[in-house]
């Protein structure tokens, strides 16, 4: 298992009242709310890490980019693209290393 610290920062109002569900491949790992900090364990055999909110999905991050003890930042980004707001494209939330 890979231990990872997650910090959810809010730069826009997108998803401010909902939880972001975190997945490794298709396995649900945890839920996180805006302005929350959590630690999770990601299985070492997982290939992808991403978040889902309702029917929309974030961009996918490859697990080989993540090592034990990393900190990841989840940021709700400001967008004027209605397709992203509706979840028809990847939702305006990004996950990146700090």
Looking at domain 2-97, does it have CATH number 2.60.40?
A: yes
Per residue in 50-79, pLDDT (tens digit) is: 999 888 888 888 888 788 888 988 888 777
| Mean local confidence (pLDDT), 39-57 | 89
Confidence of residue 37 (pLDDT cuts 50, 70, 90): very high
| Mean local confidence (pLDDT), 5-33 | 85
Q: What is the gyration radius of the CA atoms in the chain, in angstroms? A: 13
Closest CA to 20 of 65, 83, 77, 82: 77
Quick check: helix, strand or coil at residue 95?
Answer: strand
- Over the chain, what is the mean pLDDT? 84
Closest CA to 3 of 49, 50, 60, 70: 70
Confidence of residue 84 (pLDDT cuts 50, 70, 90): low
CA distance 77 to 50: 16
């Amino acid at each position: 298992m890979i231990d990872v610290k997650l910090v959810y920062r809010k730069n826009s109002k997108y998803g401010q009242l909902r939880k972001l569900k975190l997945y490794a491949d298709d396995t649900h790992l945890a839920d996180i709310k805006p302005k929350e900090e959590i630690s999770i364990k990601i299985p070492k055999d997982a290939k992808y890490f991403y978040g889902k909110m309702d029917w929309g999905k974030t961009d996918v991050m490859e697990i080989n980019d993540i090592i034990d003890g990393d900190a990841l930042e989840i940021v709700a980004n400001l967008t004027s693209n209605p397709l992203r707001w509706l979840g028809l494209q990847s939702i305006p939330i990004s996950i990146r290393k700090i």
